[in-house]
Amino acid sequence: MKYAGIYIHIPFCAVKCMYCDFYSITDREDAIPQFVEAMCWEIKNCTTDVSDWEFDTIFIGGGTPSLLKANHIDRILSCLNKSYDLSNVKEFTIEANPGEAPKDRLKDLKSMGINRLSIGVQSLQPQLLKFLTRIHSKEQVFETYNNARASGFNNINCDLIYSIPNQTLNMWEQDLSTIIKMEPEHISAYALTVEKGTDLFSMVYNNKISMPSDRQGGEWFIKTHDILSYNGYQPYEISNFSKAGFECRHNLHYWDIDPYLAFGPSAHGFDGIHRWNNARSLDQYIERIRTEKSPISKIERIELFDHLNELIGFGLRMRKGVDINMIPVDHQKEFQKKIALVSKKYPDCLQSASNIISLTQKGMLYSDRIIPELIF
């Protein structure tokens, strides 16, 4: 049996964040009932062969999934249960924004079997929240977190962002300190990245703002790893930290190149051989399903080198690294040559033990340069 996950994409948001390049829409709550029924049709009519899969994770992301009322989430889960065996699901995550997940809704979600909450904190600094077009306050972060604990959630992640224009290292250390004192089981800490098609990209492109320098970002990266590691949050992936036993199993499916189903507009799935993605438009998604057509807009077969490069690329992002024995024998010698060249070019960035190649902390800092030089 292959361990596998299920991803559900909920595209609705109260406000589109200026840095976000995930598919999301605002002012379309009227379409939620149609969307839910379309998703149920997609789930029911999915033709992917999962006969040798064992689903152990579900992740409801977005968008802002917590905007959906409990009955809508329940309807989607009912459809999933009718189509798939979910009895072995160990981790069931839903994303929520502070101030957009009332206590009663959190209790309802917990009663449905959802056992992990991922809270989009991003920052605790009012001026930075305003810059990021986040509509919650610091107080709402605490309120949502406390409500989640009171509702029975004992596995909580907090998302945080650093390298924000006008953010100081002191601000970032304050945010980390405050979140650590709250004691979530997992912390995701990302550097703000400039993605095409976002308002942030336009602002940077038009010289309205400037991003922190690479040197500054590097200092913050090292500081983040040091602070979180010291406080018991181990970096099992470049941007993800957890207490022992609380790594995000669903994300590990992606990084371990396990199969997963995906439903909803813009959702991406993988069956071990093919990757596919759905229409990146709510209207197109609903219209295709209304006419009983698959919402899949693109499908591609993963060839040997694609798989090999994903194995290396994802593997090196994780603390456990890449097992050289997983590299096809006729490519191992070439891979060893690449390792030797990279080790010389980037001293103290790679480490090896028992045929496992991994990045050091310094190597993780330069991963965007190192990984492209190791793939085929």
> What does the DSSP assignment read for 37-77?
HHHHHHHHT-----TTEEEEEEEEEES-GGGS-HHHHHHHH
Residue 234 bridge partners (DSSP): 242
How large a percentage of the chain has pLDDT more than 90? 99
**pLDDT tens digit sequence for 218-259:** 999 999 999 999 999 999 999 999 999 999 999 999 999 999
Confidence band, pLDDT 50/70/90 cuts, at residue 114: very high
Query: Confidence band (pLDDT; 50, 70, 90) for 308?
Result: very high
- Tell me what the mean pLDDT of segment 304-323 comes to: 96
Measured distance CA(138)–CA(99) in Å, rounded: 10
Please state, in angstroms and as integers, the Cα–Cα distance from residue 354 to each residue in 210, 217, 324, 350, 374, following that order: 44, 32, 9, 14, 19
Distance between CA atoms of 191 and 176, rounded to whole angstroms?
Answer: 14
Share of the chain above pLDDT 70, in %: 100
The pLDDT assigned to 50 comes to: 98
Determine the 3-state secondary structure of 297 from DSSP. strand
Question: Could you read off the pLDDT of 66-102 as tens digits, one per residue?
Answer: 899 999 999 999 999 999 999 999 999 999 999 999 9
Residue range 109-124: average pLDDT?
98
Fold designation for 2-255? pyruvate-formate lyase- activating enzyme (3.80.30)
Residue 221: predicted pLDDT = 97
Q: What is the structure's pLDDT at 130?
A: 97
Output the pLDDT for position 333. 93
State residue 240's pLDDT score.
98
Q: Are strands 240-242 and 186-191 parallel, antiparallel or unpaired?
A: antiparallel
Q: What is the pLDDT of residue 57?
A: 98
Burial class of 289 by CB neighbour count within 10 A (0 to 12, 13 to 18, 19+): buried
Whole-structure pTM value = 0.96
With bands split at pLDDT 50, 70 and 90, how would you rate the model's confidence at 53? very high
* For the chain, domain boundaries: 2-255, 320-374
pLDDT tens per residue, range 275-305: 999 999 999 999 999 999 999 999 999 999 9
Q: What's the pLDDT at 86?
A: 98
For the four alpha carbons of 201, 202, 203 and 207, in that order, the dihedral sign comes to positive
* 187 DSSP 8-state letter: E
| Cα dist from 210 to 15, 122, 204, 225, 256, whole Å | 23, 19, 6, 25, 36
DSSP 8-state assignment for residue 29: G
Task: Quick: pLDDT tens for 344-374.
Answer: 999 999 999 999 999 999 999 999 999 999 9
Tell me the pLDDT tens digit for each residue of 127-180: 999 999 999 999 999 999 999 999 999 999 999 999 999 999 999 999 999 999
Are the CB atoms for 147 and 107 separated by under 8 Å? no
- Enter the tokens of residue 340: 């030797």
Structure tokens at 50: 């999962």
